[in-house]
């Protein structure tokens, strides 16, 4: 570790984004060091990461897991302090030793620790899009008030960030921006007939054609809810109305998203579908570092194609537009209902099409008026989970 080495906290280090982040960090040992790692239940993976990266802190979900990991860490002669629970996640997200926080916990569970990083004025590298879907207004307010740097890791938003003018200050009109264009792979069922969608399995849904990701976001990609969550994420990150955010299906996942300017120019960011590119950019911005990513070979690629998303077969995208237009807590309800429904689908207890039905039912039945605090939003989240769980027991 050199004097100028930057301390990094990784929330969700055992997941897909977490492991890709460690891969990039390991390529630059002179530039970064790991301050804290967090996982939930994959203790073997977390222990291996502790041995390799020697963090000051490791955080797990429960007390029993903490006890097991603590014993192994001691046994291995490591100085890592093992903690558990949400307060510990918030603590390691705001440590003075930490310069930047990778927010890569999946779902609304990632909100409070990501908020803690934002409030502490860290560089927040945001993979956890659900934070903005649940609490966009409060999250962006915390970023503004603390002076935190918010760097999008989601590949689409990272692409848009890269396609905006250098030194962009948030004023889209002044920058001549007309629209944002989110690209979508279309997922594994892009060409499947509506009748067949009723019978798809979790294994089929998780077999994404271009990206290797965690199971929840893989299902979200298959239903197009992922693009809906990204629409809401883009709205908050870039302060753009939904009407100025287009979604276009681009099955090759080479163009990661685009910005349309008023002179007719379209600026796009291209690259191999590998999350290490946006992760590296979030880590090193405004500089660029090696990410270990394969280079694009245009001659091998051949054609890049585009088509419209099918809202009839994939109603989740339409529900996300609807929730964003409703405002208030609608996007919090959308997210919580989706999380419960996706977990049920992955457990074999709900059909693929049932996911959209549950989200639609929650949006129709629940109070969507705006909460003014994170506690209020978490209460709405819990109420939504109870509602959908009760419906699925019928």
Interaction site with ligand NAD (CB under 6 A)? 12-18, 39-40, 61, 104-106, 109, 127-130, 154, 211, 213-214, 216-217, 275
Q: How far is the CB of 107 from ligand NAD (least distance, A)?
A: 6
Q: How far is the CB of 171 from ligand NAD (least distance, A)?
A: 27
Judge contact between 239 and 42, C-beta under 8 A. no
d(Cα 273, Cα 293) in Å, to the nearest integer? 9
**Partner from ligand NAD, Mg ion, none contacting 39, C-beta within 5 to 8 A by type:** ligand NAD
Judged by CB under 5 A, the stretch of 153-161, 343-351, 368-376, 385-393 that binds Mg ion is 153-161
Q: Looking at beta carbons only, is 172 or 320 nearer to ligand NAD?
A: 320
- Structure token digits, residue 155: 């590949």
Judge contact between 304 and 297, C-beta under 8 A. no
d(Cα 230, Cα 226) in Å, to the nearest integer? 6
Neighbouring residues of 74: CB distance < 8 A, sequence distance ≥ 6:
none
Neighbours of 299 (CB within 10 A): 6
**Partner from ligand NAD, Mg ion, none contacting 129, C-beta within 5 to 8 A by type:** ligand NAD
Q: How far is the CB of 319 from Mg ion (least distance, A)?
A: 18
Q: How far is the CB of 195 from ligand NAD (least distance, A)?
A: 29
Among 154, 220, 329, 358, binds Mg ion (CB under 5 A): 154
d(Cα 84, Cα 106) in Å, to the nearest integer? 17
Helix axes 130-146, 374-393, angle to 10 degrees: 180
Q: Looking at beta carbons only, is 172 or 277 nearer to ligand NAD?
A: 277
Nearest 5°: phi and psi at 249? Answer: -80, 130
Q: How far is the CB of 218 from Mg ion (least distance, A)?
A: 12
**Partner from ligand NAD, Mg ion, none contacting 214, C-beta within 5 to 8 A by type:** ligand NAD
Question: Among residues 287, 291, 283, which one has the least CA distance to residue 7?
Answer: 283
**Partner from ligand NAD, Mg ion, none contacting 36, C-beta within 5 to 8 A by type:** none
Residue nearest to Mg ion (CB): 154
């Amino acid at each position: 570790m050199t004097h100028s080495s930057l301390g990094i906290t990784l929330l969700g280090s055992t997941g897909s984004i977490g492991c890709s982040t460690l891969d990039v960090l390991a390529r630059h040992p002179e530039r970064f060091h790991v301050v804290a790692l967090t996982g939930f239940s994959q203790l073997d993976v977390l222990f291996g990461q502790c041995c390799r990266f020697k963090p000051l802190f490791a955080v797990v979900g429960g007390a029993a897991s903490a006890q097991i990991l603590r014993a192994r860490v001691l046994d291995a002669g490591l100085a890592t302090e093992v903690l558990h629970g949400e307060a510990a996640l918030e603590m390691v997200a705001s440590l003075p030793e930490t310069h930047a926080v990778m927010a890569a916990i999946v779902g609304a569970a990632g909100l409070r620790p990501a908020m803690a990083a934002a409030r502490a004025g860290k560089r927040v590298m945001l993979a956890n899009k659900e934070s903005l879907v649940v609490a966009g207004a409060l999250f962006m307010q915390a970023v503004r008030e603390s002076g935190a740097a918010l760097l999008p890791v989601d590949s689409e938003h990272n692409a848009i960030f890269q396609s905006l003018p250098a030194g962009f200050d948030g004023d889209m009109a002044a920058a001549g921006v007309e629209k944002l264009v989110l690209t979508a792979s279309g997922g594994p069922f892009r060409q499947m007939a509506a009748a067949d969608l009723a019978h798809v399995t979790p294994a089929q849904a998780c077999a994404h054609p271009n990206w290797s990701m965690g199971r929840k976001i893989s299902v979200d990609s298959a239903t197009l809810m992922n693009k809906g969550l990204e629409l809401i994420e883009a709205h908050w990150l870039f302060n753009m109305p939904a009407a100025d955010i287009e979604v276009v299906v681009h099955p090759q996942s080479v163009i990661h998203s685009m910005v349309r300017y008023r002179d007719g120019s379209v600026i796009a960011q291209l690259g191999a579908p590998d999350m290490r590119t946006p992760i590296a950019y979030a880590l090193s911005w405004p500089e660029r570092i090696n990410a270990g990513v394969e280079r694009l070979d245009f001659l091998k690629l051949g054609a890049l194609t585009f088509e419209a998303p099918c809202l009839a077969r994939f109603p989740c995208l339409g529900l996300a537009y609807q929730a964003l237009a409703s405002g208030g807590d609608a996007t919090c309800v959308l997210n919580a209902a989706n999380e419960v429904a996706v977990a049920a689908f992955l457990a074999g207890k709900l059909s693929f099409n049932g996911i959209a039905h549950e989200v639609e039912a929650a949006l129709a039945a629940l109070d969507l008026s705006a909460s003014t605090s994170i506690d209020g939003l978490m209460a709405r989240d819990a109420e939504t989970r109870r509602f959908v769980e009760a419906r699925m027991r019928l």
